[in-house]
Amino acid sequence: MSDKQWSAMMLGDESYAGASSYYKLKEAIKDITGFDYFLPTHQGRAAENVLFSVLVKEGDIVPGNAHFDTTKGHIEFRKAKAVDCPMVIASDTISWHPFKGNIDTKKLEDVLTKNPSDKISCIMITVTNNSSGGQPVSMANIRETRKLADKYGVKLFLDSARFAENAYFIKMREEGYANKDIKDIAREMFSYADGMTMSSKKDAIVNMGGFIGFRDEELFRKASTYNIIYEGFITYGGMSGRDMNALAQGLYEGTDYSYLESRINQVAHLGTKIKEYGIPVLEPFGGHAIFIDAKKFLPGIPKEEFPAQTLAIELYIEGGVRGVEIGALMADRNPDTRENRYPDLEMVRIAIPRRVYTNNHMDYVAAAVRNVFDRRAKIQRGLRILREAPIMRHFTVELERL
Ligand SMILES: Cc1ncc(COP(=O)(O)O)c(C=O)c1O
């Protein structure tokens, strides 16, 4: 966090209800997102839990561009279906497309026509699209999804963890936005949605926190009951006053153009280095992370032996670099058949914390990846699961080397 965020913490108001920190955050959220109503939560998945307690019931369907793992977990935990509608090009790691994170509106409309609107809890668009490589979603795509939401009478929510990075990409890549301010672009993105969930540790640059934004007062009131059950009273929801102050400040800093430019360029610096070494990476580079194509990196390891997880472990042993598998382990088992799901993309994500590292650190990470690449022929077997949880297994799975 910045000096301004740390100093804002010193002014935190820790009154139980109606703290000035709550009102400060409310004002910042209104200013940045345009939403009149909000509920603070202790982190992003808590926001999902509260929102889905109102919206999602057994047998429902939640279509999206590609649900994040905790989002999918909360949907499947309620015996509903999380349906990803990514574009075909999203699983092509090489071809360039400015907005690989877009929802495929034809696939979405197919879901909407085949199911009654009371079975669709909401449409959820994740900006940027984490599961498909930190890829952005265009304004045109969000606008078109809004039209479909209206046509079929369903709600549209944005999973907004990286909304500011998404706005940056819109500014850089979408016609008509080059001269617009990041905050104006973000507000336009949110203007098409009925609400949002936020993991504040991402684009609001805080250590902990989340929130839900709502346009509709009635939905906000319904969700308030669940916030009180799961999180805390509606004016703190699991956050202390000092954390709300840091978050309010962070929302402004996270939407600052110069900050975003240096952040996204640092990610690209790492991607360029790794690519120069001939290592297969997902392109264009994502906003928050570089994704290594594990299927191409370790082609001899079958999908049943989790090549991306194998690579993540090798990278940790090599350089102490903690990447994460975005592949079959994260995709979890099919809740009905209990079979493993094998997504098209089997990746290792190297996500870069904000304002922590220099480009020299990036060079070190790239060198560690290259060292593993140089000895890849010796990595001939993958992993076997020893123990796994029934849902969201990748957080705690225990594995054994084969
Ligand atoms: C797109 C997205 N949604 C939701 C979450 C969940 O947020 P949290 O980790 O704050 O619970 C994350 C976290 O990484 C995320 O990337």
Residue type, 163: F
Interatomic CA distance for residues 46 and 348, integer angstroms: 26
Ligand 1 contact via 131 beta carbon (within 6 Å) = no
The 10 Å Cβ neighbour count of residue 124 is 29
387 forms beta bridges with: 398
In the chain, which residues have pLDDT < 50?
none
Map residue 96 onto helix, strand or coil.
Answer: coil
61 forms beta bridges with: 81, 120
What are the strands, taking DSSP E only, across 52-111?
61-64, 81-84
Beta-sheet strand order (sheet of 81-84): 37-41, 210-214, 195-199, 156-159, 123-126, 61-64, 81-84
Nearest to 131 by CA among 332, 356, 335, 297: 332
Ligand 1 contact via 64 beta carbon (within 6 Å) = no
Q: Would you say 237 and 247 are in contact if contact means Cβ atoms under 8 Å apart?
A: no
Question: Residue 216: left if φ>0, alpha if ψ -120 to 50, beta else—which one?
Answer: beta
36 has catalytic annotation: no
Pocket mutation for ligand 1, best pick of 70, 247, 330, 354 (most atoms within 8 Å of C-beta): 70
The 10 Å Cβ neighbour count of residue 367 is 15
Ligand 1 contact via 238 beta carbon (within 6 Å) = no
Q: How far is the CA of 208 from the centre of ligand 1 (A)?
A: 11
Residue owning the nearest CA to atom 10 of ligand 1: 44
In degrees and rounded to multiples of 5, residue 14 shows phi and psi of -100, 20
Residue type, 26: K
pLDDT of residue 132: 86
Map residue 401 onto helix, strand or coil.
Answer: strand
Q: Would you say 232 and 17 are in contact if contact means Cβ atoms under 8 Å apart?
A: no
The residue to which tokens 């090599």 are assigned: 318
77 has catalytic annotation: no
394 has catalytic annotation: yes
Q: How far is the CA of 271 from the centre of ligand 1 (A)?
A: 22
pLDDT of residue 17: 86
Q: Tokens at residue 365, please?
A: 């990470």
pLDDT of residue 263: 97
Residues 175-211 have pLDDT tens digits of 999 999 999 999 999 999 999 999 999 999 999 999 9
| Residue 72 neighbours by CB under 8 Å, 6+ apart | 82, 332
Q: Tokens at residue 377, please?
A: 């022929």
202 has catalytic annotation: yes
Question: Residue 40: left if φ>0, alpha if ψ -120 to 50, beta else—which one?
Answer: beta
Ligand 1 contact via 161 beta carbon (within 6 Å) = yes
Counting atoms of ligand 1 from 1, which one is nearest the CA of 199?
A: 10
Residue type, 39: L
Residue owning the nearest CA to atom 14 of ligand 1: 199
Interatomic CA distance for residues 394 and 308, integer angstroms: 12
End-to-end CA distance of the chain: 42
Ligand 1 contact via 86 beta carbon (within 6 Å) = no
- Would you report the helix, strand and coil content of the chain in percent, each value rounded to 5? 45, 15, 40
Ligand 1 contact via 45 beta carbon (within 6 Å) = yes
Domains and CATH numbers, the chain: 3-253 (3.40.640.10), 257-401 (3.90.1150.10)
Residues 373-393 have pLDDT tens digits of 999 999 999 999 999 999 999
Q: How far is the CA of 201 from the centre of ligand 1 (A)?
A: 8
